[in-house]
Amino acid sequence: MSNPFDFGSIKELFEKSGEITSRLKKIKDELEESRLTCQSGGGMVEVTVNGLGKVVSVKIGEMADLGDRELLEDLIVSAISCAAEKAKEFSKEKMGIFAGGFDMMNLL
């Protein structure tokens, strides 16, 4: 029967938690620095997000019809959705063992 007052195990737990925290910070930094881009409308709109899903740039191509506001809005939404999905998948891949199949974007 194991001793519930085995402080060696608690010490190990604290040491591992520090290591895990450090690894998570490194992953978060990598996600913040990464860039993922999606285009819509054949390149009329290009959106870039970081690995955490934060939009870092939106570019409207020269061929975009600025007079068709509704179409342009739809293309922007489409490009943002695509880039956000890429960020989600990229983040899940980076988190690997930590995620265990869960979406951990809110923890970072």
CA-to-CA distance for 105 and 87, rounded, in angstroms? Answer: 10
Q: What is the mean pLDDT of residues 76-86?
A: 97
**Domain covering 8-96: architecture:** 2-Layer Sandwich (3.30)
The per-residue pLDDT for 23 is 85
Secondary structure (3-state) at 24: helix
SS3 for 1?
coil
Q: How many helices (H) and strands (E) does the chain have?
A: 2, 3
Which stretch, 1-5, 26-30, 77-81, has highest mean pLDDT?
77-81
Which residues is 38 bridged to in the sheet? 47
Q: How confident is the model at residue 17 (pLDDT cuts 50, 70, 90)?
A: confident
pTM of the predicted structure, to 2 decimals: 0.73
Q: Are 83 and 45 in contact (CB under 8 A)?
A: no
Query: What per-residue confidence (pLDDT) applies to 4?
Result: 56
51, 48, 49, 57: which is closest to 26 by C-alpha?
A: 51
Query: Any idea which residue has 């007079």 for tokens?
Result: 67
